[in-house]
Structure 1
Amino acid sequence: MIDMFRRRFISVMVILLLIISGCNNRQETSSTNEAGDQVITIRAQTFGDEQTRIQNLEEAAKELNEQLKAENKKIQVKLETSSFDGSWEEYRRQFILAFKSKNEPDIFLTGHEDIAWLAKGDYILPLDELKDSEAYRDVYPTLWESVTWNGHIWGALQDTEARPIFYRKDVLKQLGWTDEEIESLPEKVKNGEFTVDDMTRVAKEAIDQGLVQWGILHRPVNGPEFHMIAKNFGAQLYDPKEDKLVFDKEAILESLRYFESLTQKEKVTPESMTSMEWKNVHQMMIDGKALFWYGGIWNIFNYMDQGAEFDYLMENFGFTLVPATEKGGTPMTLSHPIVHTVSSQTVHPDLVIRLLELVAKPEYQAKHSVETFHLPIHERGSEVEQFKNDEFLSQITYMLDYTTFLPNHADFNKYGDAYFNAIQSVEIGKKTPEEALKDMEVQIQNDLGDTIIIK
């Protein structure tokens, strides 16, 4: 609790300092070094604890300076970096305040779903040239969708991931599954032979036999996995032609019935799931007290941070796509690419873009992926030996062929809040799926008005 308050205090102080320092003239971003070169300052901000994003930018800046020397240009780049330690909401707010005071970073790293409001508010520059650049030539094609809004590219892809189902192989073994059956589960999911109903059935068997305390766990707080589940039940969330969100009532109702089944009927998921602590949820999976987990590939990092050994995790966990809802259906996952955006007020966009092209190099992609359990944005990154030799990541990359994304819409967070409220009310048994759906519709109509299509 103390750490939480300390982080929030630091975040507030950072925001205040940005406002106070706003009197600085943004044009004053260059100086001259002893060699007579013009030294141009580029500022980059990232989010969270994953320091390789900063380290890779720093290495790329060194390469850029070497290139500028080789080109006989009397220019050098000085990169100033910072990493924000607070909530995503605070992170976004401090960028807006800094932008208004002309003190924002030139490079602002964020989740792809922020692109719409950043672009709509003229906070960032379009980066269409990246799609045709050599540095991004072999980006996995589906990933471009995540940085596209209003017909333009607005972000330089930094990394991506997938959200698989984690399953305890040792528990399935105790249920009587053979080694072959356990290892072939991902293939059966790919072929539509094993569905979400099968997952619930197996989870129930494991509980009934006393092998686990819970059968299926999902994230305890609002977030992308819930929308992945809705999309798995066929929900359309966004109409890009109209640039409007979509409230797909029939599909959302089916997803709410699924959450009701997990918690109230089959009781394979605790009804208090949405009020649990992250560390406790992770620990249940580490300790083998739960069978299935709607997770993200970076959770391996979380598990190791809580004391689990990598070899233990690889021995006892398997990973598969989210099963289809019907036999013969197509499984899925969801990715949440992290992207670098470029401030519309940057003084040297040409140098900033060159830096972002360099940081996309395969070796940087592989290093970040392996150290933080993410996936590279392009094929060359997945072909680096460091990545290919990673026992976990190399078996996950295929999931990008089945991935989907959150909508790039300025008001999607409001929609997400309404959906999470509905899920929570159903899981604790306060409302039926039908009641929760009706209340959700009222909430999104109040919050979103004519910016949402009721389907």
Structure 2
Amino acid sequence: MKKFAGVALTMVMGLGVLAGCGSNGNSASTTSEGASASDKPEAKVVTISVRENTWGARKDNFLEAEKRLNEELAPDNVQVKLDWWPGIDDDELVLQAQAGKVADIFINSSVDIGWERDAGLIRDIDWVKDSKVFKNVPASYTNIMSYDGHYYGAIQDMDASPVFISRKALEGLGWTKEQIDGLRARVDSGDFTFHDLVNLADEAKKKSLVKIGFAVEDTRFEGWNYAFDFNNYDAEQNKLELTQKAKDVYAFWADAKKRGVIAENIGDVDTDMAAPMFVKGEIFAEFARTEFYQMMREANGMKDKVDEYNNWFNDNVVWIPVPSAQKGGKPVSYSNPAMIFVGAKVDDEKMTYVQRLIEHVLDPDLQINHTIASGKLPVTPEAQEDPRFKEMSFYKDHAYLVEFTKTRPALPDYATFTKGYTMGVEAILTKGKSAEEAFDIFEKEVKQNVPADRVEIQK
């Protein structure tokens, strides 16, 4: 998933009063004092600077939100104007903040809350707690948007992490249509495990039904960690968590590498490369996110042929949540959702307009506009009631995954923590290290580079 550049805001207010004041609204008449009836105070202009992000329908939604907000503000003689700033990367965001140029609104990843706050880029937006927009969202969304006792982001879009499996490969293994169509229910009930999936991929590859067993977005894939009950993060204490469970994940990597289910270059097969490979039937299981559904549509040459693509999808693909490694366990899902952040220089007076603008960006129909353009899921149940969403069977059917989807914690040290974990994976893939040796590399990296008060290391 691509990183999202930020967005900023600066406010310019103008308030002017023309000579005279009208009384009856007739532009041709004057009052008894001789002043034109059409004379009235100029509208107060509130300029909000937004860092441009054109992915999906993001910019279009801001433009429509601006229009809708101004219709509401017209009786108050107030007009909001958006001032578009260029989208930039995180390093530039920090440099500009140090120079005093902080944007009012921008979009970035949920994991960025911690460092953005510490760098003085964003301010709290505790209005999220009572906003009607978020009153019906899952509790997990509330956790995503808050950090260290305050809300700092408004979730903008969402995805989950289904596993896309080649239906043709399963058929080649002798599976019936009823068995394939019933697979998801078996995962949900805990009857079908992660190990069962590994065994199927191994068998499909040995029978030359596919070229690759597993493909995944990157070797940090937290969804696999959660499947083995290695959760990385203690939410109650707001600390990273390194437990012996990590060895179970490394044991899977070592076994899958030895059996050929996972190739040494697995980290090089990103989703852009994997989409056409999966379409050609070369991959047994693709661990991706919601948007992979749309990426396959484009790889199929069916970007504007939705019905034709859905027929192809139903004939060639079956999807499931990431299965638990334990029999009877619950499936897992992982996401890296986008957040709308508010710049640190926005004062409480201006926040009134910023809040209302953001809430309109999240109007249900605008969320679905973004879903159609981006392949992401909407974030509120109200948006899922949109008729267009209900017509998109894949999105509608897998929306339940967001109820248990986990996300990366916002702790600034998480990137360092994950780097240590990835070093262990790479040691298995490229150096033939064991699960125990990989764990030792991970633990050493964490002890050396993550502050002791930010992590629990359990023996």
Q: Does the TM-score normalized on the shorter chain lie above 0.5?
A: yes
Q: How many residues align?
A: 422
1:336 matched to which residue of 2? 336
Moved more, 118-127 or 323-332: 118-127
1:45 matched to which residue of 2? 51
User: Please, which runs of 5 or more residues in structure 2 have no aligned partner?
Assistant: 19-40, 303-308
Moved more, 114-123 or 430-439: 114-123
1:304 matched to which residue of 2? 297
Q: Does 2:268 match 1:262?
A: no
Give, as a single letter, the amino acid of the residue that structure 1 aligns with 2:73: L
Query: Counterparts of 1:430 and 1:208 in 2: how far apart (Å)?
Result: 21
Q: How does 1:181-220 map onto structure 2 within 5 Å?
A: 181-219=179-217
Moved more, 415-424 or 95-104: 95-104
Query: Which of the numbers 54, 62, 68 marks the counterpart of 1:57?
Result: 62
Moved more, 294-303 or 161-170: 294-303
Deviation of 1:267 (Å): 0.9
Deviation of 1:218 (Å): 1.5
1:364 matched to which residue of 2? 366
2:93 matched to which residue of 1? 95
Query: Counterparts of 2:131 and 2:270 in 1: how far apart (Å)?
Result: 43
1:409 matched to which residue of 2? 411
1:379 matched to which residue of 2? 381
Query: Which of the numbers 246, 249, 260 marks the counterpart of 1:252?
Result: 246
Query: Which of the numbers 149, 163, 166 marks the counterpart of 1:151?
Result: 149
Give, as a single letter, the amino acid of the residue that structure 1 aligns with 2:165: Y
Deviation of 1:31 (Å): 4.8
Deviation of 1:278 (Å): 4.3
Query: Counterparts of 2:137 and 2:148 in 1: how far apart (Å)?
Result: 20
Q: Does 2:58 match 1:36?
A: no
Contact 1:38 1:75 in 2 (8 A): yes
1:399 matched to which residue of 2? 401
Query: Which of the numbers 423, 443, 451 marks the counterpart of 2:425?
Result: 423
Query: Counterparts of 1:83 and 1:210 in 2: how far apart (Å)?
Result: 49
Contact 1:163 1:333 in 2 (8 A): yes
Deviation of 1:428 (Å): 2.2
Q: Does 2:292 match 1:286?
A: no
Partner SS state of residue 374, structure 1: coil
Give, as a single letter, the amino acid of the residue that structure 2 aligns with 1:239: D
- Residues 168, 368 of structure 1: CA spacing in aligned structure 2 closer, same or farther, 3 A cutoff? same
Deviation of 1:82 (Å): 5.0
Contact 1:136 1:360 in 2 (8 A): no
Query: Which of the numbers 77, 82, 90 marks the counterpart of 1:79?
Result: 82
Give, as a single letter, the amino acid of the residue that structure 1 aligns with 2:225: A
Contact 1:366 1:381 in 2 (8 A): yes
Query: Counterparts of 1:308 and 1:175 in 2: how far apart (Å)?
Result: 28
Query: Which of the numbers 428, 434, 437 marks the counterpart of 1:435?
Result: 437
Query: Counterparts of 1:196 and 1:27 in 2: how far apart (Å)?
Result: 50
Deviation of 1:340 (Å): 0.4
Moved more, 208-217 or 53-62: 208-217
Query: Counterparts of 2:251 and 2:368 in 1: how far apart (Å)?
Result: 40
Deviation of 1:287 (Å): 0.8
Instruction: Give the structure-1-normalised TM-score.
Output: 0.87
Give, as a single letter, the amino acid of the residue that structure 1 aligns with 2:435: P
Q: Deviation digits for residues 8-53 of structure 1, max 9, x if unmatched?
A: xxx9xx99xx9xxx9xxx9763457998223222112255x52401
- Residues 133, 279 of structure 1: CA spacing in aligned structure 2 closer, same or farther, 3 A cutoff? closer
Query: Counterparts of 2:431 and 2:176 in 1: how far apart (Å)?
Result: 37
Instruction: Give the structure-2-normalised TM-score.
Output: 0.86
2:71 matched to which residue of 1? 66
1:138 matched to which residue of 2? 136
Contact 1:167 1:293 in 2 (8 A): yes
Q: Deviation digits for residues 94-113 of structure 1, max 9, x if unmatched?
A: 22222222323211211111
Deviation of 1:436 (Å): 1.7
Partner SS state of residue 105, structure 1: coil
Contact 1:274 1:424 in 2 (8 A): no
- The structure that has the greater radius of gyration is 2
Partner SS state of residue 161, structure 1: coil
Give, as a single letter, the amino acid of the residue that structure 1 aligns with 2:283: A
Query: Counterparts of 1:123 and 1:27 in 2: how far apart (Å)?
Result: 13
Deviation of 1:328 (Å): 0.9
Query: Counterparts of 1:82 and 1:396 in 2: how far apart (Å)?
Result: 36
Query: Counterparts of 1:28 and 1:153 in 2: how far apart (Å)?
Result: 22
Identity %: 24
CA RMSD between the two structures: 2.5
2:31 matched to which residue of 1? none
Q: How does 1:162-181 map onto structure 2 within 5 Å?
A: 162-181=160-179
Deviation of 1:306 (Å): 3.0
Deviation of 1:346 (Å): 1.9
Partner SS state of residue 89, structure 2: helix
Query: Counterparts of 1:51 and 1:165 in 2: how far apart (Å)?
Result: 23
Q: Deviation digits for residues 299-320 of structure 1, max 9, x if unmatched?
A: 1222233344333234311111
Query: Counterparts of 1:83 and 1:318 in 2: how far apart (Å)?
Result: 40
User: Please, which runs of 5 or more residues in structure 1 have no aligned partner?
Assistant: 1-10, 85-89
